Amino acid sequence: MTGRRDGHDLHTKRSTHPSIETLSDTGFSIQNPANSGSPPYTRGIHKNMYLDRLWTMRQYAGFSDAKSTNKRFLDLLENGQSGLSVAFDLPTQLGLNSNSELAEGEVGKVGVAIDSIHDIRALFSDIDLSQVSTSMTINAPATSLFALYVAYADECGIPRKALRGTVQNDILKEYIARGLYIFPPKESMRLTTDLMAWSKSHTPNWNTISVSGYHMREAGCTATQEIAFTLSNGLEYLSQAIDSGLDIDHVAPRMSFFFGCHNDFFEEVAKFRAARQLWHDLVTERFQPNNPKSSMLRFHTQTAGVTLTAQQPLNNAVRVSYQALSAVLGGTQSLHTNSYDEAIGLPTEESALLALRTQQILAEETKVPNSVDPLAGSYLVEELTSKLYQNSRNLIEEIDNMGGAMQCVIAGYQQRHIHEAAWNQLQSIEDGTTKVIGVNTFTEDQTTDIVGQIQNSAIAQLQEEQIEQIIEDRDSTKADQCIRSIEEAITDGSNLMEPLIEAFKAEVTLGEVNDILRDNFGTWIAPSGV
């Protein structure tokens, strides 16, 4: 990995003097391009886009214990946020209780600690889940966390069909980029399709999977790779769901996507447009759906955490603003804007509010949402859209020829491509080819006094004490019966959702449930040996 291979450049090649001629060279159809709301949805999935409804302002939040995070949620909602997005700590993301030896030092650090239905009650206290959509960034134990959410909604008397939101539930990108997986691919796919099948009847307004390119982009992949790896993963989920007996028109409309938005402004705008068109074309060609929504790519966007710098952190507020603008010009359905202090620590209330205000200024003051796809017809944007479309399609075909996304994951194909791209990006910053203000140009010697959110150091002990009290006080006979029901469902192949929901109602903990799954499914060692 010492050089940049052809086809893996950091940025999409573009004309320095874009024109109708350079656009024609890409194969772009200049005559009568489809409007927004019409296939292939290059210009947007809705006819009037933000003229009818703004994107959802969904700020990602979670730290320490459930009570502290609930306060942050209530503050954000009071200040105009229109949806919730939950960040879980590492033990929760790995299906571990806070009192596990493997959780030591990580409880409540990068998200909220969730061990049982007691924590879910505290997390959503004073929040009407029938009126607010919730996104949960959780993958390996996604089925468990969604079951906890449903158990709490049942307890509150909220009809399951009223629940709106998304559970990420994208295990393939964990194998590819993040490494927070638990079970082998086959068993993980069973959990994914169980959630999809159950949700079809019980929570029809819930998005059962959010296929994430964001984490792969954070790991170092290029814009082309982000599109290709994300959409190929989406195709794999659709194929697995159909093989399990589900219909394309039941699964695909409840599938959403998650992308990052980076610093190459016009490339990012074009990336979103190209992804929409390519998803429509691939789904239509391969699955022939009857429901038009099956081929619509709906996506959430988050500004790029990897572009934030600890040096001159206030610069990050500027980066985030431009990245957010590219997402809106690209037609995102919801958006998270990072806080300027995230390269230093967890966001403070002040920085989190400024991040939200960034979206609100973009929505209310700039007039950008007043036109549908306002950059359409730009020779440069159309050229980049066309190139990203074709380059991404070529890469997806390469993945298909190797057996599809899951086979490539098992072989380490995507991982190797991302490692190479990340190395190239690092080299580019170190040799000064890529300029980063405050890091390799316009540097300053002074240090910042920004320290980030101060955490409660006692959170781990408090969570441990709560778990001990729950196990002591619960109806042990009922809890044991629920654990046996989970084991029976694993063995006979029946859907796991209802046994999980009943177990959490009986105060079985998250760690206990996932220990059962580990015992029966086994765990996974990546091709790298990690």
Q: Are residues 221 and 170 in the same domain?
A: yes
Residue 267 lies in a domain: yes
Q: How many domains does the chain have?
A: 2
Q: Are residues 424 and 476 in the same domain?
A: no
Residue 22 lies in a domain: no
Q: Which residues contact 262 (CB under 8 A, 6 or more apart)?
A: 217, 223, 268, 304, 307, 323
Pairing of strands 84-87, 134-137: parallel
- What is the domain extent for residue 425? 36-430
Residue 18 lies in a domain: no
3-state helix, strand, coil in the chain (%, to 5): 50, 10, 40
Please name which of 18, 1, 527 lies closest in space to residue 270, comparing C-alpha atoms.
18
Q: Are residues 373 and 486 in the same domain?
A: no
Question: In whole angstroms, what is the distance from residue 270 CA to residue 277 CA?
Answer: 11
The residue type of 123 is: L
Question: In whole angstroms, what is the distance from residue 188 CA to residue 182 CA?
Answer: 8
- Contact between residue 69 and residue 63 where contact means Cβ atoms under 8 Å apart: yes
Q: Are residues 328 and 404 in the same domain?
A: yes
Q: Are residues 186 and 280 in the same domain?
A: yes
Tokens found for residue 369: 């949402």
Please name which of 488, 479, 481, 477 lies closest in space to residue 520, comparing C-alpha atoms.
488
Radius of gyration of the chain (CA): 23
Of 430, 450, 477, which one is at a domain's C-terminal end?
430
Q: Are residues 94 and 226 in the same domain?
A: yes
Residue 94 lies in a domain: yes
Phi, psi at residue 279, to the nearest 5°? -60, -45
pLDDT tens, residue order, the chain (530 aa) = 334 443 347 899 999 999 999 999 998 877 667 899 999 999 999 999 999 999 999 988 898 999 999 999 999 999 999 889 999 999 999 999 999 999 999 999 989 999 999 999 999 999 999 999 999 999 999 999 999 999 999 999 999 999 999 999 999 999 999 999 999 999 999 999 999 999 999 999 999 999 999 999 999 999 999 999 999 999 999 999 999 999 999 999 999 999 999 999 999 999 999 999 999 999 999 999 999 999 999 999 999 999 999 999 999 999 999 999 999 999 999 999 999 999 998 888 899 999 999 999 999 999 999 999 999 999 999 999 999 999 999 999 999 999 999 999 999 999 999 999 999 999 999 999 999 999 999 999 877 777 666 666 689 999 999 999 999 999 999 999 999 999 999 999 999 999 999 999 999 999 999 999 999 999 988 766 54
- Contact between residue 344 and residue 452 where contact means Cβ atoms under 8 Å apart: yes
Question: In whole angstroms, what is the distance from residue 321 CA to residue 37 CA?
Answer: 27
- Contact between residue 181 and residue 132 where contact means Cβ atoms under 8 Å apart: no
Residue 8 lies in a domain: no
Tokens found for residue 165: 């939101």
- Contact between residue 213 and residue 229 where contact means Cβ atoms under 8 Å apart: yes
pLDDT of residue 445: 86
Q: Are residues 476 and 389 in the same domain?
A: no
Q: Which residues contact 73 (CB under 8 A, 6 or more apart)?
A: 61, 84, 123, 124, 127
Residue 279 lies in a domain: yes
Residue 17 lies in a domain: no
Q: Are residues 343 and 475 in the same domain?
A: no
Of 430, 454, 482, which one is at a domain's C-terminal end?
430
Q: Are residues 396 and 276 in the same domain?
A: yes
Could you tell me the CATH number of the domain that includes residue 135? 3.20.20.240
Cα maximum dimension of the chain: 75
Q: Are residues 422 and 493 in the same domain?
A: no
Q: Which residues contact 472 (CB under 8 A, 6 or more apart)?
A: none
pTM for the complete prediction? 0.93
pLDDT of residue 529: 53
Q: Are residues 490 and 417 in the same domain?
A: no
Q: Are residues 204 and 253 in the same domain?
A: yes
Residue 5 lies in a domain: no
